[in-house]
Copies of this chain bind each other. A is one copy, B any other.
Amino acid sequence: MAIPASHPLPAVPASPAVISIRALKTHCSNCSVRELCLPVGLEQDALQQLDQLVTNRVRLKKGEVLYRAGDPFSALYAIRTGSCKTTVLAENGHEQVAGYHMLGDMIGMDGIGTDRHGSQAVALEDSEYCVLPFDRLDELARSIEPLRRNLYQFLSREISRDHSVMLLLGSMRAEERLAAFLLNLSQRYRERGYSSTEFVLRMSREEIGSYIGLKLETVSRLFSRFQAEGLIRVQGRAVKLLDIPTLKQLIGQRC
């Protein structure tokens, strides 16, 4: 796997923060997250065809918006570096975090059906996205079976992921929610070759709360309590998981 193991992100080569970067040496074929992303399992020549499709990349600074709810849908986005949140808007104006995405993740899939994005994506840190024009991706997927399979998988996995969140929101108590949130992050960092016990949260207490259905004060209190109980160590947004077994027990114990 790519990525130097322990943690920090591999330094992104300095480059002008321009929207469209062509002929940059970043291709799917040598991308650090190719094993997690759309290219996984593709043959060499399929990879090259995919490379030709991904000619645009977008760089965002923290807080910048990739797309808004209601924007015309034209492409999916694969996260190359960094992380972002997706939020959904209720008719009454309430905004809620629906996803916390990191490198290798694909976002924008809820827009396919309606030709409009159904959610909003906001960078949680400086980050880079591969633009996958959907029409061309679809066209390419027609002929490349593994690519088509991967596309289905991303769509389907998003559904499963949402089901997990529904489970969390619908039946867990506050401490279970936070434990599940932390363990989920831990696993995803591990899958990406980072430390699974020590990482930096890219969301505020309020955003975390919005994601897991709690108020920010409750999130803060729980962080404090988990720390007091020796389960984690928190320093602002830096978290270290100290007692993963007990955290797991927290979410596995109730009927």
Contacts and interface: CB of A to CB of B under 8 A. Distances in A.
A172 to B, nearest CB: 8
Given A110-B156, A156-B110, A166 B169 contact: yes
A132 to B, nearest CB: 14
Contacts of A98: 163, 166-167
Nearest to A138: B148
A255 interface: yes
Work out how many copies of this chain go into the complex. Answer: 2
B167 A251 contact: no
A246 to B, nearest CB: 15
What's the dominant secondary structure at chain A's contact region? Answer: helix
A91 B251 contact: yes
Interface in A153-167: 153-160, 162-167
Interface of A: 88, 90-94, 96, 98, 109-114, 118-119, 138, 142, 148, 152-160, 162-167, 169-171, 210-213, 251-255
A-B interface, 8 closest residue pairs, ranked by CB to CB distance from nearest: A113-B156, A162-B162, A112-B156, A169-B169, A113-B153, A170-B213, A155-B155, A113-B157
